[in-house]
Amino acid sequence: MPTIKLSRVSGNYGFEATDEYGHTVRMDSSPESGGENFGVRPMQMLLMGLGGCSAIDVIAILKKQRQDVVDYKMVITGEREAGVEPSLWQDIMLEFHIYGNNVDEDKAKKAVELSLNKYCSVAATLYKAAADIKWKVFIHPAG
């Protein structure tokens, strides 16, 4: 079972979380709510996890299809519910920027679809919380 250890290390809400392999992430609240910008907001980290989870899937799928992906970037935006607690992600937009020579756009779109609808556990978690996840794929030449 994965184990995360969390410790307060800065101000009121500055925390470091460390996994069983020694990887550390810094988190904090916004200055408006008493934080000091020590680290990522926990809800933003959830979007980062979605990006990382899906990126691993997409690249693995494209690799199996012998697509030559030489670089990969994502832009992730999200809108949270207004005026409620807890304020969940309700609208998320993912832009997949895939760089390579002769990457088939249909294969890239299918890889994204498989990731978000079948393989990515973070996406599944967000879908269960009623998030609306939309996406676009952009193929760019390597260079």
pTM: predicted TM-score of the whole model, two decimal places: 0.94
pLDDT tens figures, 43-60: 999 999 999 999 999 999
Range 23-41 average pLDDT: 96
- Give the angle 101-102-103 at the CA atoms, nearest 5°: 95
| Amino acid at site 66 | R
pLDDT the model gives residue 122: 97
Assess contact for 131 and 89: CB atoms under 8 A. Answer: yes
pLDDT tens figures, 77-125: 999 999 999 999 999 999 999 999 999 999 999 999 999 999 999 999 9
The band of 143, judged by pLDDT with boundaries at 50, 70 and 90, is confident
